[in-house]
Structure 1
Amino acid sequence: MTSTHQDSFTDDYWLDPHSTLARARENEPVRVAHFESGPTWLVTRYADVRAGLVDERLAKDWRSTLPEAERADAPPGLPAPMSHMLTSLDPPEHTRLRALVTQAFTARRIAALRPRVEQLAEELLDGLPEDEPVDLVGRYAIILPMIVICELLGVPELERDEFARLSTVLIDECPEPELAEASAQMATYLDGLVAAKRADPDDALLSALITASDEGDRLTDLEITAMAMLLLMAGHETTAVFLTNSVRAMLDDPTHVHRLTDPKAAPAMVEELLRWLSPAMNASLRFATEDLEIGGVPIARGESVMLSTAAADRDPRAFPDADVFDPDRNTSKHVAFGHGIHRCLGAALVRLEAEVGLAALFRRFPDLRATADPATLTFRRSVHVHSPRVFPVLLGPRAD
């Protein structure tokens, strides 16, 4: 695994990943990048990324790269229960698990959340001061989706702040011991919660996962814990990042902000924001199960591949004037939520929370403005998400 250009994941990337990815896309679209777990091939052009997302030769479980006789005794790439998440599995295990989870995580269940999400957004905004700086990340963007996903799963309110801390550790580029400890702490709590829901079920998603069945097949407790952990991590992290960055974008150029408060125009606005900002910058690692080529570059069996959905959705070969925010463009082929069998299960929830959260904020506070020099913002060091750790704003007078 060799590369002729400078590594992608440098300080420049943490500050402005889209510029770094654009240079990679134009100069070396399949290149080696280095991060906490080691070197990987980074793929940045839309056609290559979209093809890679459905390429059966790119497996999620690294053990698929081993000779069949060695797979059973090889350890998973991640500790349990993370090794049992949908994002870590390949067919047929993935097919079985997704079919069972989909029974509980239905479009109807998500759509029914809208009134509650609207209520939560209004309550959070009611509690914010108008005339002093407010950290939009810590006071709104993180809290709204965290409450929603915890209520959806049935996680008690007192545990939510700790879940937010642990999921941040698991998403960011943290040392391996810290990741392992955070994973173990979250798993221990969720194991107990699953047992409690099994003994005394309610109408929350965790209980629905316990009762989901396909011809007698059911999810094991380990699989339920893994799904709950994935939803807690991804279910609020991506939305929090997306809300924060969407507000930043609208404050930088308020040309189209009025569309966010128009129920008819808001869905197209959110869809273009998804393409333009990418809640998840890169898909989780895949592993080549045989020698292959991506974009004319040879990838050896066993090497890891990271498909950059953020770079793909800014590729001018797929989207004319891709760096221009245009809510009137056709965004139907964006890959912000992936593509194929691993397409994000929570896409509808992210869309719902974004539509509601952004509309409520800009309707209530039309004079909202940032108070910090962009150059002073510090950003999370994560290959998965891009967001400032703190984003201070002045809300201004309420419109109602």
Structure 2
Amino acid sequence: MKELTQSERTMMHLYRYRFFNMDAEKVAPFELTQDGIGEALGISRSYASLIVGRMGKEGLIRMGRLAIADDAGRNPRKVYLLSSKGEERCRTLIDGKDPDDILPRNINHCRTDCFDALGREDRDILGALMLIEVPVHHRQVPGGRSVPLLPVDPSGFVSIRRRTRKLYTGRADAETLRRWHSVAADWCADNSGPLDERILHLVGAERIREAAKLAGSNRYAIMDSPDPGTVDALDLISRNPGMDDLAEVAAFSYLRLGMLDKARSAAGRISDDSVCLKGAMMAEILLAEGRRSAALERALDVYCADVRTALVLGKCMAANDRHAEAVVYLRKARRCMTESGCLFRLDEALRWEAESYLSLGNPELALHLLEAAYCSAKDPGVTEMLRNRVDVVSSEDGVGLQGVHI
């Protein structure tokens, strides 16, 4: 058969919906919209608009307005069906053949039995693509080969709709999902996928040791910008024998997310051999709960002159208005960071120290410390907060600690 024009491909697509009664129904399939036509044919919406406009002038299609299935707004949109003339032309075109044989469907527009009929390797690749959240170009498809039913947008990227992902992942059994996650995890590793997504796929694939190793080697990146889903996964992993070192990562991440009950639960699983670490974590949770006196008492009990306990004790001193003592411990924490070469939480030490110097009447030094904290912060939210704080302190109306969340 000769190569189809885009108008003929559009006719073939709409021919599948020839039994849909536009006049009797209140809700239409997404596939009958310009977006749906473009997605089905792998062309842009604007190109689809030109095609249906031209076909309308030729009398091949008719247009109506209906709400669209799975559209939250349910505002009426333009939908298109073949006219009698269009249906007759399409029947001549297909000459008794199945339209699906001439214009194959993709995973967004096919029955589930079409997917089930594929070989397991093809199903696993499509399943993995349904789980992968980052954009995937068709040249980067797992396995590096052509896969049946693969939808590709005009830019060349795989385009599996959210509804399709939900349908197929929802009907997959546990073993199937494990395989899909495993393929997705390997793809993320080979294509420099996001750390959080790699961990989640490894956990979904039950490759727990690999997930723990990856999280352990990237612990500071995780704690700097914690993702709730990743932290939940690490919290689950930390319950396994020999993996309680991840309990600290989970506890601190929950603390940064403001999920204090989960932080306390995870902190309780930190090894009892790590008395200072566990105590410092509990002191920070108490401080976040507003129990400043109890936090200071706990921080004093576990102080052992290392980075973590010095930082926590300095924060607790400042929160209890003991600013002269606070700067001693906060400087100690910064010195330990410099000596160890690990500057994790440096911005936090600097900004707490700055607020103490403000309360001690030294705004010039406080401003220098805040500017240094701004330069060292990694979290965008913290960076924005510090920029605003620098602006306030450097203004004529600079204010002190009161009313400032640090």
TM-score bin, normalised by smaller chain: under 0.3
Report which of the two has the higher share of helix. 2
Task: Normalising by structure 2, report the TM-score.
Answer: 0.21
Q: Which has the higher contact order (CA 8 A, sep 6+)?
A: 1
Report which of the two has the higher share of strand. 1
Task: Normalising by structure 1, report the TM-score.
Answer: 0.22
